[in-house]
Amino acid sequence: MHNIFFATVRRDLKIAYRNSSDLLNPLAFFFIVVTLFPLGISPSPQVLSGLAPGVLWVAALLATLLSVDGLFKSDYEDGSLEQILISPQPLFMVVLGKVVGHWLVTGFPLTLLTPVLAVMLFLPVDGIIALELTLLIGTPILSLIGAIGAGLTVGLKRGGLLISVLILPLYVPVLILGTLAVQAGVDGQSFAGHLLWMGSLLVMGLGLAPLATAAGLRISASS
């Protein structure tokens, strides 16, 4: 079981690094959205620091949503998804491996890039620490939820818009908790409670999201 998990992660990472757009598009989108925001609102440090938690989290959420459509698309198009579904290997571990690979390509680089942009938006140090911790916990949740939508729409030609409709409501609790935690850090308050709630969502997602995604893939493949 562990072998198929690590093999899936390695395979997806190799494919992603061969297709540089899979790595650069979400990061470029995230960078452009955050850097253009001060031009459209105000260059005032007071204004930007107050809006920074929501802006950074919404931009990270949208960047993740941009890339989640291709999570199973290439496997579906080249026929390897059918082989995965009929193989004796546990589909749960395959899906979990693909989600981890997606996070390593999208969510983790976003987390590393965020402090630079947070400084540009005049976010204080305590807020940056809270932002990094919430993104480190929250972006895997976004990938897990996104995998459910990708599994349900993998057989559709224009599944990107449908994925947004399906999973954006499920993203809202993560967005609220992440933004409130960062705001608490900015105000000098404890954000441990928010992190615990996000950790609970992550544990729940690790157990349930691969099962729901596997069911969605089987439905899409049989339709």
Any idea what DSSP says for residue 124? -
Q: Which of 102, 90, 104 is nearest to 148 (CA)?
A: 102
User: d(Cα 213, Cα 216) in Å, to the nearest integer?
Assistant: 5
- Helices vs strands, H then E, count in the chain: 10, 0
Q: What percent of the chain has pLDDT over 70?
A: 96
Mean pLDDT value of segment 155-174: 81
pLDDT tens digits for 57-107? Answer: 999 999 998 888 888 888 887 778 888 888 888 889 999 999 999 999 999
Residue appearing with tokens 């089987």: 218
Q: What percent of the chain has pLDDT over 90?
A: 50
* Cβ–Cβ < 8 Å for 53, 123: yes
Q: Is the dihedral of CA 19, 158, 216, 111 positive or negative?
A: positive
- Phi first, then psi: what are they for 14, rounded to 5°? -65, -45
Whether the predicted pLDDT of 159 surpasses 70: no
Lowest mean pLDDT among 117-131, 161-175, 183-197: 161-175
Q: Any idea where the domains of the chain sit in the sequence?
A: 2-222
pLDDT of residue 211: 94
Predicted model pTM: 0.92
CA angle 161-163-169, nearest 5°?
110
